A = this chain, B = another copy of it.
Amino acid sequence: MNLPPLAAIRVFEAAARHGSFTNAAEELGMTQAAVSYQIKLLEERIGAPLFLRRPRQVTLTEVGARLSPAISEAFDLMRAAIAATRESADGILTITTIPTFAANWLVPRLGSFQLAHPSLAVRLQASRDIVDFARQDADVGIRSGAGRWPGVVAHKIFGADFAPMLSPELAASIGGVKTPADLLKLPIVDPGDPWWKVWFRTAGVSGPGLRGDPRSRFGDQHLEGKAVIAGQGVGILTPVFYEAELRSGQLIQPFDIVGNDNHFYWLVYPEARRNLPKVKAFRDWLLGQLEQKDSGRSPKAPPAATA
């Protein structure tokens, strides 16, 4: 069944409510002539007059009166649905993030975001796929990469730096770790981790015989971290992810030397949606979190870089 032109139905709905073409026209922001035109169109389509043209007003015919309530109801339904959708679209922030970042950085801090934006519901999606907002139902994403994606705004969060860490007890067991080479006296949690090779080179220790693919490793540090905290060995971890443990003394980072493989974490979101309140809110909050951290160390971090 073919619906008549919907524009005409909409006009009819308004006209029926007002009992006046002129008023309906005003509501719809068009001229009285346009309303008259659309109604006539609809009447032809239906095959019956819908209005009686009375002197100072128009009245629904029997047919029109029968049609009108159902149409009104349908429109109310639509209006409500769209309003609800808009609201829910504004009220739910979906974040797609690399699992490591979620576990080690985002989740522990999300509470403060929720507190600051009580009306925003957060949906976390952990995934390591390439971020593609066309096929992923997310508002913002956290990914690694070079920070150049077309149509996407990217803020650099921090580099995936890494440094050796171990439990204080383990360090004490060899009388303390004084030089990078001392680390080799201890068990290494994951000797295959490519970061080790990079770090030792950076630290000036040559040929410790550690092997591993030179590919980046944004994978899960979670298990490795647990093992290190438990004192099972030395691990190579990203310091920002273990700030709390370093502060509390559960872990120690013997050297300030950090390795990095020139990969960064980025906050990304579609350029077209950069002005959505929820996107702005998250961006501002996240960058704010970083500044708090940085303020103690470096003078100022450039907050954003757009692609």
Residues of A within 8 A of B (CB): 1, 3-4, 6-7, 9-10, 46-49, 52-54, 61-63, 66-67, 70-71, 73-75, 77-86, 88-90, 92, 94, 133-137, 273, 276
- The winner among A7, A67, A84 for most chain B CB atoms within 10 A is A67
Contact A9 to B78, CB < 8 A, known contacts A47-B89, A94-B62: yes
B89/A48 in contact, CB under 8 A: yes
Contact A46 to B94, CB < 8 A, known contacts A6-B7, A135-B53, A137-B62: no
> Within the complex, what minimum Cβ distance (angstroms) separates A16 from chain B?
12
Copies per assembly = 2
A53 contact set on B, CB distance < 8 A? 134-135
A82/B6 in contact, CB under 8 A: no
Closest to A29 in B: B2
A52 contact set on B, CB distance < 8 A? 134-137
Contact A90 to B3, CB < 8 A, known contacts A70-B77, A137-B62: no
A90 contact set on B, CB distance < 8 A? 47
List 10 A-B pairs, minimum CB-CB distance, nearest first: A70-B81, A6-B6, A48-B89, A74-B77, A61-B137, A67-B85, A74-B74, A74-B78, A53-B134, A63-B89
Q: In the complex, A260→B10 CA distance in Å?
A: 53
A4/B82 in contact, CB under 8 A: yes
> Within the complex, what minimum Cβ distance (angstroms) separates A261 from chain B?
31
11 contacts between A and B (CB under 8 A): A3-B75, A6-B9, A48-B85, A52-B137, A62-B92, A62-B137, A63-B85, A66-B84, A66-B85, A71-B81, A74-B77
A73/B82 in contact, CB under 8 A: no
Contact A86 to B3, CB < 8 A, known contacts A53-B135, A77-B74: no
A92 contact set on B, CB distance < 8 A? 62
Closest to A94 in B: B62
B67/A81 in contact, CB under 8 A: yes
A1/B82 in contact, CB under 8 A: yes
Q: In the complex, A66→B62 CA distance in Å?
A: 36
A7 contact set on B, CB distance < 8 A? 6-7
Q: In the complex, A94→B61 CA distance in Å?
A: 11
A86/B46 in contact, CB under 8 A: yes
> Within the complex, what minimum Cβ distance (angstroms) separates A25 from chain B?
15
Q: In the complex, A276→B81 CA distance in Å?
A: 38
Closest to A275 in B: B47
Closest to A44 in B: B272
Closest to A60 in B: B137
Q: Which of B1, B84, B135, B137 contacts A83 (CB 8 A)?
A: B1
A61 contact set on B, CB distance < 8 A? 137
